[in-house]
Amino acid sequence: MTAAIEVRGLGKRRGDRWVVDDVAFAVAPGEIVALVGGNGAGKSTTLAMIAGALAIDRGWVAIAGATSGTRRRVGYVPEGADPPGHLTAAELWALVGGLRGGAAVPPDVHAALELEPIADRRFERMSLGQRRRACLAAALIGAPPALVLDEPDNGLDAGALAAMATLLAAAAAAGAGVLIATHDPAVRAQVASRELVLVAGRLSD
């Protein structure tokens, strides 16, 4: 079976130091994997490289078997959840949808994340939780084969957390591979089937 996310020899250098060094793993279709580690372990850097938001200095990433054009095949929620402040949520969704063949936010996602009140709100006027919900909706547009989510639970209330868990389970059931970083062990226990541990930029045995 072709992996939804495959990473081999992944590395990122900052100055004379490798902040991510020789990371290798795979996430199967239908699997939800948590990437864990302390602050500065390299989680956000690793996720950003997988999502195509940060240049790779060494190694490679394949999404559903393809090593090119990967950025459009990944639903990505960055740690900051900070699209340009002048955009509305609806404008972000339209931009993402245009990259994915004209797809829109699925109705079940719209309802579960209670998006109607924030659809026409600019990101600069949203709370962190609202930005998280808007970005999670954008990540799910077009049912990408891989979801890469960096602290997507940060700022969410209990209802939104439950909706996120349900949506991630549904995406995995439909065949997506999901990679999530979160500091909350309760969220990891709820959504992930296994964990990968990063220590100083390298995967721990």
Domains and CATH numbers, the chain: 5-203 (3.40.50.300)
Task: Tell me the two tokens of residue 103.
Answer: 């797809």
Report the candidate in 131, 135, 120 with the shortest Cα–Cα distance to residue 167: 135
Do residues 37 and 83 lie in contact, with contact meaning Cβ atoms separated by under 8 Å?
Answer: no
Residue-wise pLDDT tens digits, 2-59: 999 999 999 999 999 999 999 999 999 999 999 999 999 999 999 999 999 999 999 9
Report the candidate in 41, 70, 20 with the shortest Cα–Cα distance to residue 177: 70
φ, ψ (nearest 5 deg) of residue 135: -70, -35
Do residues 7 and 167 lie in contact, with contact meaning Cβ atoms separated by under 8 Å?
Answer: no
Which three-class secondary structure state does DSSP give residue 26?
A: strand
Residue-wise pLDDT tens digits, 83-132: 999 999 999 999 999 989 899 999 999 999 999 999 999 999 999 999 99
User: Which pTM was predicted?
Assistant: 0.94
Do residues 32 and 191 lie in contact, with contact meaning Cβ atoms separated by under 8 Å?
Answer: yes
Per-residue confidence (pLDDT) for residue 176, from 0 to 100? 98
pLDDT exceeding 70 applies to what percent of the chain? 100
